[in-house]
Amino acid sequence: MVRARIQDSLIRHGIERADGSPRPVVEYGLRVDSQIIALLEQFGATPASAAKLGIDILKGQSAQAEFEQFLRREHDDGVVDG
């Protein structure tokens, strides 16, 4: 919604003032875009962040599997009471 209003303002008024300087809405739009990209990356919604999230999940699953193997070995060796 905010992005649509920014786009509408840029279409109606242009990106520059009469003196050639950028309108404030241009800088605001760039900040909004940066925030959107940061949130998409944080939630794994970009290809790179999704791949990283997948790698992190796999690392966690691998660590859990190794820990479970360790516990089974310890239990089989009679070290863990149960």
Q: What is 20-35 written as a DSSP string?
A: SPBPHHHHHHHHHHHH
Same domain for 38 and 1: yes
The total of other beta-carbon atoms located within 10 Å of residue 62's CB is 10
Containing domain of residue 78, as a range?
Answer: 46-82
What is the sign, positive or negative, of the torsion defined by CA atoms of 50, 55, 58, 63? negative
Residues 20 and 33 in one domain: yes
pTM score over 0.95: no
Q: How many domains does the chain have?
A: 2
Residues 7 and 37 both lie in one domain: yes
The total of other beta-carbon atoms located within 10 Å of residue 42's CB is: 11
Q: Is 35 in contact with 6 (CB distance < 8 Å)?
A: no
Verify that 68 and 80 share a domain, yes or no: yes
Check whether residue 38 and residue 60 sit in a common domain: no
List per-residue pLDDT tens for the chain, 82 residues long: 888 999 999 999 999 999 999 999 999 999 999 999 999 988 888 888 888 877 777 777 888 888 888 888 888 876 555 5
Q: Domain check: are 70 and 52 in the same one?
A: yes
